[in-house]
Amino acid sequence: MSTEHGDRVPIDAQSVDAPLSRFAVFLVVTVGPDSASLDTVRDTISSIDDLVKTVGFRDLGGHLSCVVGIGRLLWDRLVPDIRPVELEVFPTIRGDVHTAVSTPGDLIFHIRAERIDLCFELERLLLDALGSAVRIADETQGFRYFDERDLLGFVDGTANPIGSDLTPTAVIDDEDPRFTGGSYVVAQKYLHDMDAWKSLTVEQQEAVMGRTKLDNVELPDSVENQKAHKTLATIVDENGVEHDILRDNMPFGRPGAGEFGTYFIGYSAQLWVTMRMMERMFIGDPPGFYDKLLDVSTPVTGGTFFVPSNPVLQALADPTALAGTLGLSSGGDEGTEASNNEEADGSLGIGSLRAPTDELEGTAS
């Protein structure tokens, strides 16, 4: 997942560390239950690099990139024998007042570029290739708003890791050796009640966010037990170690339709970090003291996906190559799910249509 030489060739697919862009498309789709649909999806996503090069080479300065994330249920259809250790269906998180919803989604495509026409063209070619194999669950076009602000008027992404901290934050290493180079991504689409937000004073808005609105200076939490958004979104483990995620949030909206929102998308090497952040926001810390930002920002989608490294993604089209890329052998591998699900004939079953028995039809991924 490197953006090295991005000024000479298009950015590799699966580069979660690609530069922040002026525009983005967030495309979530579900995959048909038949074998033909699965085959089409397998062939298309394994060759996503070719599509990115086809479009991106027209303007290398446009920095076109694409990240493909795969939901738990689709992963189990594509690779039924082994899965990333933390990959799960996004759970519905119910607090006393607000709920983080879980919505259908087998694949997410995070398309970024400095030009919206590059995003448009890649999405068009991608959907042409997928055809009737998928149905669109959500399609959102994001844009950068002034100096990295959201539509609520605050700078977004201040807490992102930088420099040498970026890769270990977002990209799997020793946490799951078979899937080194991959990442977990959580995506949620939030709609803002702008009238309710504007009814608050600037001081009240700053107390909710935990930062000053004009110059983005961090503020202390001002009310006992009521933590600001920036505090609830900061995860510190029992040993006092802070764990970050990599955000690439973007505003979106249609003023004529009264739609104003933020598309949250967060990459992490450890999924539990993002999910603990969700629990703190919706349930509260302590419970009941939830994130007051949720009083004006409502999530209407929610999904968890695994972003395989580019070599793993490319190998999805070839079961033998995939087994080699994941370090599996036809003889099985004790201690992995592959050994538990090994076919009687000694094959790994990678690429078969058999899904694990715990797959529930209709469950969101």
Query: What is the C-alpha R_g of the chain?
Result: 21
Residues in the chain: 365
**Which tokens in the block code for residue 355?**
């899904």
Q: What distances in angstroms separate CA 202 from CA 62, 168, 191, 199, 206, one per listed residue?
A: 37, 36, 20, 9, 6
Q: Is 156 a catalytic residue?
A: yes
Is the separation of the CB atoms in 317 and 277 below 8 Å?
A: no
Phi, psi dihedral angles at 11 (to 5 degrees):
-65, 135
Is the separation of the CB atoms in 218 and 205 below 8 Å?
A: no
Half-sphere exposure of 69 (CA within 13 A, CB side): 29
Q: Which helix (H) or strand (E) holds 154?
A: none
Distance of alpha carbon 251 from alpha carbon 194, whole angstroms: 13
Q: Which is the catalytic residue, given 17, 156, 291, 333?
A: 156
Is the separation of the CB atoms in 108 and 27 below 8 Å?
A: yes
**Which tokens in the block code for residue 181?**
């180079």
Known catalytic residues are 156
